[in-house]
Amino acid sequence: MITDSLVGAAPAFGARTALSGAVVGDGASVGADNWLRDGVRVWCGATLPAGAVRFSSDQ
């Protein structure tokens, strides 16, 4: 799910990843089960592994 976010060219998103108010640069890779929100920025070409960014304690 992507809402109120800016997404660059050719990003890769894993399953169950959500964006709300985030910025993801060109060619960034965001693994599964990440929740990016509230102004978080992922730079061009950066890689976030699965589950790296969460705002809850559930797994």
Is residue 21 in some structural domain?
A: yes
Domain count, the chain: 1
Q: What is the DSSP letter of 6?
A: E
Is residue 50 in some structural domain?
A: no
**pLDDT score at 56:** 77
Is residue 49 in some structural domain?
A: no
Is residue 6 in some structural domain?
A: yes
Q: Which long-range contacts (C-beta less than 8 Å, at least 24 apart) are formed by 45-54?
A: 50/14
Confidence label for 59 from pLDDT (cuts 50, 70 and 90) = low
**Given a cut of 90, is residue 48 above it in pLDDT?**
yes
Name 58's Cβ contacts closer than 8 Å, sequence gap at least 6.
Answer: none
Is residue 26 in some structural domain?
A: yes
For the stretch 1-45, pLDDT in tens is 999 999 999 999 999 999 999 999 999 999 999 999 999 999 999
Q: Which residues form the domain of 16? A: 2-44
**Given a cut of 70, is residue 57 above it in pLDDT?**
yes
